[in-house]
Amino acid sequence: MAEELLKKTFTIFPRNFDKAGENSTEIKTLLKSLNFDPDIIRRLVVVAFEAEMNVVMYANGGEMDFVITDEDIRIDIRDEGPGIPDIQQAMQEGYSTATDEMREMGFGFGMGLPNIKRHSDFLNIESQVGKGTTVSAGIRLNPDA
C-alpha cells in the first residue's frame, strides 16, 4: 500500500471561467517548490487543468484532491453533473458536447479527456448518467526519485 505524503482538496465552482485554472496553478507552484522534474510538473498540470475544466464546463461543481504518495502523484476529481453516457466516445479526440459559448471562450474542442490520457500514466473514469463522474489520473514516480 502506498504511503500518502500529502493531500490537498480544492473546491471547483461550476461555470466560473474567470477563476478556472487557478487550482492547477496552485498545484504547479506546489510541485515546483517540491522540486519535481519539470516534465512531471508539466504533465500533471495539464492533467489537473483539463480535469478541472471539465467540471467547470459541464458539472454543477465538484471537488479535486491532489495527492502525493511515495509511488505516484495523482488528481482525484469528483463532480455532481450529467455524467458521461459513453466513455469510449468521450475519449475520442475532437468529440465534444460543448456549447457555442464555451467554444467562443476557447474551450470545448474535445481534447480534454484525450489530453488527460496522453499526459498521465494511469486514468480511471467512472460515471453515472444523471449523477456525476469521478476521474482519477496521475503519474507514477520513479521509485528512486
Q: Binding residues for another protein, per CB under 8 A?
A: 5-6, 21, 24-25, 28, 30, 32-35, 38-39, 41-42, 45-46, 49-50, 68, 70, 106, 115, 119, 141, 145
**Shortest Å, Cβ 69 to another protein:** 10
Cβ proximity to another protein, 34 vs 87, nearer residue:
34
What is the separation of C-alpha 115 from the centre of its chain, rounded to a whole number of angstroms? 10
Query: Does residue 69 contact residue 5 with C-beta atoms inside 8 Å?
Result: yes
**Shortest Å, Cβ 72 to another protein:** 12
Strands 122-128 and 132-140: what pairing?
Answer: antiparallel
**Shortest Å, Cβ 119 to another protein:** 8
Cβ proximity to another protein, 28 vs 74, nearer residue:
28
Grid coordinates representing 55 are 467540471
What is the separation of C-alpha 17 from the centre of its chain, rounded to a whole number of angstroms? 15
**Shortest Å, Cβ 68 to another protein:** 7
Dihedral of alpha carbons 88, 39, 28, 139, sign = positive
